[in-house]
Amino acid sequence: AAAGTFGIAPRVGIAVDVGFATEVPGISADQYGELIMGRGPGLTRNADNNPVLLSRIMKIGDRKKIPYQLETGHRSTGGTDTAAIQLSHGGVATALFSIPNRYMHTPVEICDLRDAEAAAKLIAETVASLSPDDSFRPGID
């Protein structure tokens, strides 16, 4: 991701990866939050995700009735392409779509195709909404 991003110098980067589904026995929503299969992709509020871009994605999802789930991260993702894209050149506005996944890093990983389809629709609608004049610089209210 870093080399590709450096080569094209985008203003916006959207990464898609899997995230740990939390509706498994022994996982506490109080401790880990919720990312439930079948409820749409996860969108994370953390250091990697541009708040202006994330807000736009959520508004589009709400308006178009495309399901998504909001996650809260306490650090950058590190294990996804998001951080590498974000840090390229002078900075890139990034967003990560996490497809809920059970049994990650095993031979029997499971995802719900509806989550991937919702992510694809929401990404397509977001890309269609972009214009050259868009600013993704967060403001201070």
Convert the pLDDT of each residue in 25-68 to its tens digit.
888 878 778 899 999 999 988 878 899 999 999 999 999 999 99
The Cα–Cα gap between 30 and 130 comes to 36
Is 90 a member of any domain?
A: yes
Range among 27-36, 73-82, 103-112, 130-139 with highest mean pLDDT value:
103-112
Counted domains in the chain: 1
118, 119, 121, 122: CA torsion to nearest 10 = 110
Q: Which domain holds residue 49?
A: 2-129
Mean pLDDT confidence for 17-22: 91
Is 73 a member of any domain?
A: yes
Range among 1-5, 19-23, 97-101 with highest mean pLDDT value:
97-101
Is 137 a member of any domain?
A: no
Q: Work out the mean pLDDT of the chain and round it to a whole number.
A: 88
Is 134 a member of any domain?
A: no
Neighbour-count burial of 47, counting CB atoms closer than 10 A to its CB (0-12 exposed, 13-18 middle, 19+ buried): middle
State phi, psi for 66 to the nearest 5 degrees.
-100, 120
| pLDDT confidence tier of residue 118, bands split at 50, 70 and 90 | very high
Helix ranges, 69-112 (H) = 82-86
Beta carbons of 67 and 61 less than 8 angstroms apart: yes
State phi, psi for 123 to the nearest 5 degrees.
-65, -45
Q: Which residue has the tokens 């509806």?
A: 114
Is 138 a member of any domain?
A: no
Mean pLDDT confidence for 115-125: 98
Is 16 a member of any domain?
A: yes
CATH of residue 9's domain is 3.40.630.10
Given a cut of 70, whether residue 78 has pLDDT beyond it is no
Is 97 a member of any domain?
A: yes
Is 86 a member of any domain?
A: yes
